Amino acid sequence: MDKQAAQKIKDYFETHREELVSDFLELVRAESPSNNKEYANRCLDVLCGIVEKRLGVKGTRYPQEQYGDHALFTVGNGQRKILLIGHYDTVWEIGAKETKYENDIVTGPGCFDMKYGVISSIWSLKAISDLGLPFDKTVHLFYNSDEEVGSYTSMPIALANPKEYEAAVILEPSHHGGIKTERKGVGIFEINIKGIASHSGSDPEKGVSAIEEAAKITSYLHSLTNYETGTTLNVGVIKGGTRSNVVAAECYMHVDLRVRTAEEGERIINQVMGIKPSKEGLSVEITGGLNRPPFEKTEANKALYCELCKIAEDMDIKVFEISVGGGSDGNFTSHAGIPTIDGMGAVGDGGHALSEHVIVSESLERTMLLTGFWSAY
């Protein structure tokens, strides 16, 4: 990208900063918990209105039974196709956080994760059009409502034809400013243990404790954690028993798994699924597996990141890459064979926390880079 084009992009966003922020605040105020279909659809109404106003296109809406609807918009008509994915659902219940804009900082439910990224995608393509920059691509903007709860209904739609895309851009927030080029795979397991109840004082020997078995399984699962390889298992929930004077007949466990590679994921899954009861009178039922495959640093992903670095250098924008433990829809696009870059959204901090916030000036720079990517890649 030549310096003149880079400067035009920077000037454009300085000029249109407050308009972009206005759209951003409107979307954040349209609260959209994943588990509230009514509010999620209201938020999508707002989002569709912003897309039509700024880009002049209407999308295809995919109605959903449990969660909010998904939407797909097409911008451009070039031969080269790029998939952009953003989610508008949040982890926040209605009224949990107030939306504010003060001193270059925006706070509010889902502002960082990831409503700024959604608005950034819209304005980056608007800038391409307004500035008349080269654009030989077709960009599919896919916005979903279920990323925070697993993307179970959205990814089959977004990845119906993965081979048609030469790149995927995920507008999740950055990690302390870093572009995410690697994410761990995420696994979820549910373990149901059944034992035999008895009076813990009068007939303890007649009982077989499901809670005791859960303790043994917990110890075993945590022993599989290996920080050097990046493999972690965490028993996050245990529920069982009825009273302190009754040997527990039932216990339930909810387990989280994180792995860096598909090979490691398969190995650990086999070990988890192979757990057997330690004694007679017990039954152990295990369900689950990988919810999101690892987003690995493949040669294709590395090559795409290198292209982004060249564009950033031409624009005098500093970027760096980072590996994170959390999953995103980038796990799915990368696993489907689409070269993927992630973390191209907001700069700030506090995702899923009360401290969630976006630094507007630094996030605008990321939008400038996205604009440069559409034109120069």
Cβ-Cβ contacts under 8 Å for 76 (sequence gap 6 or more): 125, 135, 137, 138, 139
Bridge partners, residue 73, by sequence = 141
pLDDT digits (tens, 9 = 90+) for 331-376: 999 999 999 999 999 999 999 999 999 999 999 999 999 999 999 9
What is the overall mean pLDDT for the chain? Answer: 97
Q: Domains in the chain, please, with CATH?
A: 3-183+295-376 (3.40.630.10), 185-292 (3.30.70.360)
Instruction: Please count the helices (runs of H) and the strands (runs of E) in the chain.
Output: 10, 16
Confidence of residue 1 (pLDDT cuts 50, 70, 90): confident
Q: What one-letter code names the amino acid at 233?
A: L
pLDDT score at 296: 96
- Total length of the chain: 377
**Virtual CA dihedral for 193, 195, 200, 203, nearest 10 degrees?**
-170
Percentage of residues of the chain with pLDDT beyond 70: 100
pTM for the complete prediction?
A: 0.92
Write the CA distances from 366 to 153, 167, 282, 307, 317, integer angstroms.
Answer: 29, 18, 55, 15, 8
CA angle 339–230–111, rounded 5-degree value: 60
Return the bridge partners of 255, or none. Answer: 189, 235
Q: Using one digit for the tens of pLDDT, what is the confidence trace for 140-161? A: 999 999 999 999 999 999 999 9
The whole-angstrom separation of Cα 140 and Cα 127 is 17
Supply the pLDDT for residue 350: 95
